[in-house]
């Protein structure tokens, strides 16, 4: 076993000839991981939270290097899930948009009068009616990280100031600190779903 792997305790749950559980501390992972090896598990890897700890469920003969790689992978997936947000109501969305407008639009700019989730956006993540001062967000954004939703909101809010994609528009839209990160996230989603590229 590599030096980066240290067993803190064994047999935390009842072990058998076909199953063994250890509490393992990896040098590059902050929290100890419960590692359960099972002879019945052939190819699949599983992970779950048990009493506040991450448990990694792996085949008995998996190498220490693969065990470590899967521990990192499953923790990353758990962290991504933690950052996903539950769907918010239209009222919550409007309140968020008004707060973002206050922070990112020029002083004195009127915010939106309506912001709603919709299911008819096609391949667009959002749209803005500058005359009616209304914003629509694709319900596909629900469950995505909050910074992604906020980046799309700021993008649409910028249209309340600049109707087209002028340099002045991008100066506002890109003032959101996670704009580039959100663009990359949505480009990945679009690629995975075979959607056409979009500026939001």
Find tokens 């000839």 and name the residue.
17
Residues 76 and 102 in one domain: no
Residue 25 lies in a domain: yes
pTM as predicted: 0.58
Residues 94 and 188 in one domain: yes
Find tokens 């909101």 and name the residue.
153
- Could you read off the pLDDT of 27-72 as tens digits, one per residue? 888 888 989 999 988 888 888 877 778 889 999 999 989 999 998 8
The answer to whether 61 and 80 have CB atoms below 8 angstroms apart is no
CA atoms within a 13 Å half-sphere pointing along the CA-CB vector of 12: 17
The answer to whether 86 and 107 have CB atoms below 8 angstroms apart is no
Residue 197 lies in a domain: no
Burial of 60 (0-12, 13-18, 19+ CB in 10 A): middle
Residue 133 lies in a domain: yes
Q: Residue 14's pLDDT band (boundaries 50, 70, 90)?
A: low
Give dist(CA 58, CA 20) in Å, integer.
10
The DSSP symbol for 89 reads P
Residues 122 and 167 in one domain: yes
What range does the domain containing 169 cover? Answer: 90-192
Choose the final residue of a domain: 40, 55, 83: 83
Q: What is the mean pLDDT of residues 157-161?
A: 97
Q: How many domains does the chain have?
A: 2
Q: Residue 2's pLDDT band (boundaries 50, 70, 90)?
A: very low
């Amino acid at each position: 076993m590599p030096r980066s792997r240290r067993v803190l305790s064994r047999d935390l749950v009842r072990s058998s000839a076909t199953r063994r559980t250890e509490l393992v501390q990896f040098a590059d992972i902050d929290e100890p991981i419960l590692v359960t090896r099972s002879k019945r598990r052939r190819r699949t890897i599983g992970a779950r939270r048990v009493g506040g700890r991450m448990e990694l469920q792996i085949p008995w003969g998996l190498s220490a290097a693969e065990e470590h790689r899967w521990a990192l992978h499953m923790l990353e997936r758990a962290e991504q899930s933690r950052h996903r947000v539950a769907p918010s109501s239209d009222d919550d969305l409007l309140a968020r948009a008004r707060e973002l407008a206050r922070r990112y639009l020029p002083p004195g700019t009127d915010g939106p009068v309506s912001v709603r989730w919709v299911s008819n956006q096609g391949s667009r993540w959002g749209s803005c009616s500058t005359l009616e001062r209304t914003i629509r967000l694709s319900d596909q954004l629900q469950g995505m990280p909050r910074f992604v939703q906020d980046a799309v909101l700021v993008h649409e809010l910028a249209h309340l100031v600049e109707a087209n994609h002028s340099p002045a528009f991008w100066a506002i839209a890109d003032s959101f600190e996670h704009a580039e990160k959100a663009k990359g996230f949505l480009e990945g989603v679009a690629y995975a779903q075979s959607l056409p590229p979009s500026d939001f």
